[in-house]
Structure 1
Amino acid sequence: HYIVSRSFSSGLFDESTQACYDTTPIYRSNELETPEMIVQAFKFTTFSKIQEFVALRKELENSLQKALVDREMVRLEILIASKTNKQVIEYFQDLDVSDFSYDDGFCTNLRDNRDFVSMPNYNPDSKPTMEEITRISPKLDKLWLKIFSIIPRILKCIHVEQNADNVKQLVEELEKVLTEEINGDHNIMEQEMQLGNVIVKLGRLFITVKEIQNGQKELVQNFESIAEELVSAVKASEPVDNSQIKLYDIKWLLFHQLTSFLETCNYSLIGIGALNETLNVKNKKSGLRALAQKLQIMSELPTQLTYYQKDILIQI
């Protein structure tokens, strides 16, 4: 669990996905084996063990790390599935987001079960621990969990369900997390905030398209302004020019910036692709060919920027 936190940022997407998969067997075995162990404890009258099994099951069911790894796996799986449009459509059709709870009640019950005491620390109590000093990125928290629980829900809703009301509700919830709930100290990084902002703009664009399709032609002008906001948000998330980076300057933050931008562009392309399909289906009846053409032009920007950043990743 210490390794897979923000493993997306390593750039080793296949390896990171497998690492996430490797952390999950303990949770599956808990669901399957703990009830049987409780039955066996009753059978052999070792009643003291029953409380231990129940406590263990509760700890694993309310594991913050399990919830975080589940979201990290989805981030990685979406990127891997995005190699072709057919794959990503099938992925979102099969993706079950019902387990991606993020309400306050769910988050309150989550616990970090990791035992950092086992890590050596010779620093005084008034100083940061060795774990805190050597941590490569801010510790994942419940706000991160909320953001990356809502994002795949929005993408699935845009790509599969295409329900504007549901997207609107999710966008409002994501916007609330990004604006109201992030106050003071938090562990959300700038690139993750930018990603969330792009998803908000993408959701608003989808809502506007659906409203125009439903007869509100006066919103065409709104479409253009929101489209420009989306393009600006994508550009704002682009890292600075790293083409002259030296080997000794490479740090985790650089990989995080590059992979976050790759993720941002990928989600933008997924959303724009879904909107293109929606408009193309109804082009003849709705007269929205101009919007479809504008979306096509918009899709070229994240594609071009992604190719550029991929080249940098390959060079590194």
Structure 2
Amino acid sequence: MKWEGNRESDNVEDRRGDGGGGGGGFGFGGRSIGIGTIAIALVGSYFLGVSPMTIINMLSGGGGAVPVQQEQGSAQRPPASDTQARFVSTVLADTEDTWSELFRAQNAQYVKPKLVLFTGATQTACGTGQSASGPFYCPGDQKVYIDLAFFRLMEERFKVTGEFAQAYVIAHEVGHHVQHLLGIDQKVAAVRQSGNERQANAASVRLELQADCFAGVWAFHANRSRSILEKGDVEAALTAATAIGDDTLQRQSQGTVVPDSFTHGTSAQRVRWFNKGIETGQFEQCDTFNERQL
């Protein structure tokens, strides 16, 4: 992926170093937790509805408190020497440019989200954010949260490599921000509050697949404007989408697949919707909620 030399976003907040552990792992409860434990916690919480920290404490034999990073009074910028932070800042800037242009074409204004880098755990408007939950978007403060060690997890646990695959992850979370600005996530939240778990899961799948499609829309326009794609980039993103499909993760973690419990969509569905976005470049084509066949 070609990104160096492109604009970097000013909307990146660095909370790393204010909590969490070192030594190549994550620090929880005074212990250094390896990446393998994080992967188990991530998959376990994903399907069992259990806090990742509950699983981590069980696996590490502890019950200590999770160090939580408090938000600083003034946001700290990542150091210029941090290549990975520069990369995510550049990807964020690219999403800003793309979505600002697309919103402007609809006579609307795009409100840029902030991207927060953290380690271990941090306070958000949605509660305590944890590394073991993976990257996430909080509509309450309109911020994307990520522990950059997740990219190492992608390589070691899911065998997904390449900068464009990492950019896809960020673009997917920004896709949730776009949904929030359009009021789509509020409608899904209303379905979730209805108490019908099956309908709530189905709505969640459509929400996630639309975010995948929005990520593809970003890639289409970013490549057309700034020629960011190199050979193998799209394949890397598709590998990432395949690796985190509900059916693939369930098969790996429990040996069976339970479609009614899906919350993100199958591998094939995630690939299809990302492809639809990157092939058309039209976010109107990402209407997963009115599509009969996902």
What band does the TM-score fall into relative to the shorter chain? 0.3 to 0.5
TM-score (norm 1): 0.31
Give the structure with the higher percent helix. 1
Question: 1 or 2, which has the higher strand percentage?
Answer: 2
TM-score, normalised to structure 2, is 0.33
Larger radius of gyration: 1
